[in-house]
Amino acid sequence: MSLPQINEVKNLTNEELSQEILKVKKELFDLKFKKATRQSFKPHKIKHLKHKLAQLLTIEHQKILNTIFSN
């Protein structure tokens, strides 16, 4: 499993982007909870989810800036 590509999320609408951000945050919380309670999990998934979350937040921020400065 490779790191997610930013090209996959550039075409999402604002609502889809928000939904995806919430989904990734929930998954990340669940993995951190499993780690804290010493349950079985795949540690590399934390890195992948953090990377994906950063990409999603970057795209969201860029879209916000584009709407502000396009006026």
**Domain boundaries of the chain, sorted by first residue:** 14-69
Cα 58 to Cα 66: distance, rounded to the nearest angstrom: 12
Confidence of residue 1 (pLDDT cuts 50, 70, 90): low
Position 50 scores a pLDDT of: 96
Taking a C-beta distance cutoff of 8 angstroms, is the pair 6, 59 a contact?
Answer: yes
pLDDT in tens, 4-53: 678 878 888 999 999 999 999 999 999 999 999 999 999 999 999 999 99
Taking a C-beta distance cutoff of 8 angstroms, is the pair 48, 4 a contact?
Answer: yes
